[in-house]
Structure 1
Amino acid sequence: MMQRSVDDLPRWILAVGPVFVLIGALVVLSVTAPFEDLSSAETASTVEIVWMVTIIGAIAGLAPVAIGMLWFPFIRDLDPRYLHAFMALAAGVLAFIAVEMSKEIVAYGATVASPLTAGAVTIVGVGGTFVTMHVASAWRQHEMASRHKSGLHIAYLVALALGLHSIGEGLGIGVAYVQGDATLVMLLVLAFVMHNVMEGPTIVAAVARETETPPLRHFAAMGIIAGAPVILGGWVGSFANAPLVAMLFYAIAIGAIVQVLLEVAELIRFDAEAVLSRTNTATFVGGFVLMFVLEDVLVDVVLEGWLVPV
């Protein structure tokens, strides 16, 4: 039904429509400044903290992922060559996220008393997750007894990997909230909205290759899997800001991303045989660079510019 309702819209509207929705959401956030007063955070009850962090997490996680998924109708009608390029762009986004989380692990590891413990947590998180997901994926392909590669299956794996990564974002929001730092919370939310809106098309890129549009419930489920963990991370950050916990979450996410990158490469190879074409390589690098701009410019430069003078 969703696909039929947008068939008659011009292509340019399908392409730029989500951008206008995103701009509108950012304007509403900037004008209303919903996190302006967090002075009562220190005396708030557990229920009040959980409720507020849930709202913040939904705005920073669920909403932008849903906005990004609005690009599905546009991606759906792309030529297979460009669809593969879009999947390569999604892989570039995931690769950048893995690199950034590796840096976070190193930073958290420096604050842990025992380097051996920090290393063990990282190895178990990355290796254990990768092996588990790889075995599960191999078993599933064997059970399918078919040459068909399921884009929906890959999309769910991408959503899972992004969801695990989103827990780390929630940790930062939760810590800033309980510290009563309204400016930091607001800027983190704005930055994560811009950052996470790219997760939507990253998820649906693999689904777009399917001959039939999956039921709407799958899009809702994938959006929740990818975006809702920001809320979980916020809860954890509000009550248990432990470096080893953060390291474990990041390590698990990295292991999941490595497996997803392999799945995406196999999916492209299944359709096109050549994974590293010029177009795919260019869009992979483009996805990596785009996330570098969104992450380092919006989060590092903007936050430092606003907060250091305070």
Structure 2
Amino acid sequence: VPFTVDGPTELGRLRSSTIVVPFDWVEEDPITVGVTSSTGIQTVKEIPAAIATPEPALRGFLGYALIGALVGILPVALGLLWLPALRQASPAWLAAFMALTAGLLVFLGLEALSEAFALQAALPSALGGSGLVLLGVALSFLGMTALSGRLSRGGTATGFALALLVSIGIGIHNLGEGLAIGASFALGELQLGTFLIIGFMIHNITEGLGIAAPVAKTRVTILALVALALVAGAPAILGAWIGGYTSSDVLGVLFFALAAGAAFQVVVEVGRYVARQAPGGLRSGYAIGGFLAGIAVMYVTGVLAG
């Protein structure tokens, strides 16, 4: 097949060139593209459905924004409707719901870490291997620790401050989910993108409960609840924009690694809160049961979402 190379034909470390192949491709047909080097090394890329590379346009931005809102903001807002019921809960049951929040975040953190390592495995070793994932986790964990210290003024985060930390952790995770959805549409995998939207919507409804629990015994305005929902859900819009117009596996690794680190740090903060506020502390049946229930809820919604 004839081709031209826009750039050097001999590449050094972390260098790139563009190979241009004149080919009459058919829209939405699968294509397999392969390159064989002078040393006989083959690199193959499968394109499940050929489509033109998306270009930034108002219609596209609005479409991805709507998808991000459906996946991120709407489910979180629906989950926040648990707040009136949580206000009536006894201290023991409130501790159970706080522990449930920790369980949700542990599941999200492990899920994000798994996604990060899966994406990293397909990257060239020159990009740092698993060190890229660990760097993202460490930076996020330390950054969230510093933010927690500022919000709680050196003590244990409670009330709105803790809810904000939970929202940030969930928001970074939703950033990665938006990236996955945007990339699937950009690569022509329309069926996969549709399933991801439905699956993430079902999966994310429980996240609002985790945000509502810390403010159950705190006076909080409607505006503050809207802000929490936006912090947790709006990053899905940004992720969809990035995935739809860049489709970078490196960004996917970083986003999911950052999400894992943030989730694990917020689990620490929630654990401190439960240890101080719950009757019986972390060893109480309510705390243990709530934690396990949080993991179970996320697992079940994940299974139902396909």
Q: Do residues 282 (structure 1) and 289 (structure 2) align?
A: yes
The answer to whether the 8 Å contact 2:148/2:157 transfers is no
Aligned to 2:13: none
Query: C-alpha displacement at 1:115, in angstroms?
Result: 6.5
Which of 77, 94, 104 does residue 93 from structure 1 map onto? 104
Letter in 1 for 2:130: G
Aligned to 2:300: 293
Secondary structure in 1 matching 2:281: coil
Q: RCO greater where, 1 or 2, for CA within 8 Å and sep 6 or more?
A: 1
Looking at secondary structure, tell me which structure has more helix per residue: 1
Change (3 A) 1:136 1:226: closer
Unaligned runs of 5+ in 1: 1-38, 300-310
Which of 56, 75, 79 does residue 86 from structure 2 map onto? 75
Q: Do residues 171 (structure 1) and 179 (structure 2) align?
A: yes
Aligned to 1:8: none
In the superposition, the TM-score normalised over structure 2's length comes to 0.78
Query: C-alpha displacement at 1:166, in angstroms?
Result: 0.2
Change (3 A) 1:209 1:275: farther
Letter in 2 for 1:166: N
Unaligned runs of 5+ in 2: 1-49
In the superposition, the TM-score normalised over structure 1's length comes to 0.77
Which of 115, 122, 127 does residue 111 from structure 1 map onto? 122
Query: Structure 1 CA distance, aligned partners of 2:231 and 2:164?
Result: 8
The answer to whether the 8 Å contact 1:129/1:256 transfers is yes
Change (3 A) 1:254 1:149: closer
The answer to whether the 8 Å contact 2:156/2:269 transfers is no
Change (3 A) 1:40 1:53: farther
Query: Structure 1 CA distance, aligned partners of 2:295 and 2:94?
Result: 17
Secondary structure in 2 matching 1:198: helix
Letter in 2 for 1:126: V
Deviations 1:264-290 (A, max 9, x none): 111112213612311211121111012
Query: Structure 2 CA distance, aligned partners of 1:250 and 1:234?
Result: 14
The answer to whether the 8 Å contact 1:171/1:237 transfers is yes
Sequence identity, in percent? Answer: 33
Query: C-alpha displacement at 1:48, in angstroms?
Result: 2.2
Query: Structure 2 CA distance, aligned partners of 1:110 and 1:296?
Result: 25
Which of 212, 219, 222 does residue 216 from structure 1 map onto? 222
Root mean square deviation of aligned Cα = 2.3
What is the number of equivalent residue pairs in this alignment? 257
